Amino acid sequence: MSTPHNDVFADALKRLDLAAQYAKVDPETLLRLRQPKQFLEVSIPVRMDNGSLRIFTGYRCKYDDTRGPAKGGIRFHQDVTPSEVKALAFWMTFKCAVAGLPFGGGKGGVIVNPFELSMAERERLSRGYIRAIAWAIGTDVDVPAPDVNTNGLIMAWMADEYSNVVGRREPGVITGKPVAMGGSLGRDDATARGGFFILKELEVKLGWDNKKQARRIAVQGFGNAGENFARLAHADGYQVVGVSDSNGALYNAAGLDIAAMLKAEHKPGLLPDPSLCGAGTKKITNAELLELDVDMLVPAAVENVITEENANRIKAKVILELANGPVTVQADGMLERRGVMVIPDILANSGGVTVSYFEWTQNKMGFYWTAEEVRERLALYMRREFSAVFDLAKKHGIGMRIGAYAHALERLGPALESTGTAKRYAKE
């Protein structure tokens, strides 16, 4: 069974406790990391197109900012809850630390189904949200970004509204903006490309050679991350045998024609007709896609898709988490006992926040890099941190997830302790 929303944060904290066994961290540091530094709930009045007034509820969580300003996306979704926002901000804290970025963790959300709103209503909601939290964010305080159901255009509205509130232009207050508004080249496929760089480093660690044997990959989700990862892997010689969207999945034992699929007309996040995806392509269910016999499974959609209910039926040798929280705590243990390598979300999908860091840096210095420069820097970060986590996990004989959390704690611990609150400093 999937984890209820009200347990998401509790599950996140379980991984903190497991990781603490493999990192030298003061108990007071762990105590501080069990609660967010700041959590806001705001009401957002929005005038609808028909003249009526609706009040939406929004949240912003600054989990920790010891290593730098908080960083994390804003999602528009009808199922947003305080627990989910806290958990996502917690994960962002560790994601930024594991990626070696000078950021803490944050997250935001609004309870709304944005597809029920007109574009004008979405703009008013976006601007209203920023007005409500403007005092709590800033270039060196808390830096939002896109997340579920938000995009570059919405970030442009929000950045513009923040400028209206404070009376000056501050492009670094929000990342994931359009390039014309100070966004970074290379941001559009950063999450997928970061995961792909990890795949290339994994080849070295595991001795994979696609020229001798094409490895098989299944990608769950055909949104930005899933679609771009499938494109990059296919171009590199991998057999992408399965992909899915919210309505189902497509499978081709000989490998889908990803290039043709991307050229075909289809709505964002949804798959084209099977006839356009290569001869022999057939429809399967999302559940069947997760259980395909592949070398790598890439969950790139939503949380809690691999659970204790289906974990023992997963045949993939490696799971690369491009989605946030696709594997539950219970499933994690089951997969580890079976020898399935799980490259966790806080490492695998950190390409997005890494390029957000590049965008923030470019905004602050007023100098912008080429797409090639962005990709070169991203490759350096992703390969370096993957190798560090892989080696740490191997040293302690633990899974990659706990290895990633322990790696992050080795950075968070000294930062929190150096603020002078740890017992060992108090004794001096």
Nearest C-alpha neighbor of 293 from the set 345, 236, 253, 346? 253
Between CA 232 and CA 109 the distance in angstroms is: 30
CA 119 to chain centre: 25
Residue type at 182? G
Residue type at 108? G
Between CA 174 and CA 145 the distance in angstroms is: 6
**Two structure tokens written together for 173:** 């207050």
Active site (annotated) includes residue 177: no
Q: Are 186 and 355 in contact (CB under 8 A)?
A: yes
Identify the three-state secondary structure at position 194. helix
Sheet holding 318-320, edge to edge: 282-284, 248-251, 239-245, 216-220, 296-299, 318-320, 341-343
Between CA 213 and CA 408 the distance in angstroms is: 35
Sheet holding 70-77, edge to edge: 38-47, 53-64, 105-111, 70-77, 142-146
Which strand (E) or helix (H) includes residue 296?
Answer: strand 296-299
Classify burial at 279, counting beta carbons within 10 Å of its beta carbon; exposed 0-12, middle 13-18, buried 19 or more. exposed
Catalytic residue among 62, 86, 107, 177: 107
Give the contacts of 51 (CB within 8 A, at least 6 positions apart): none
Between CA 395 and CA 89 the distance in angstroms is: 29
Active site residues: 107
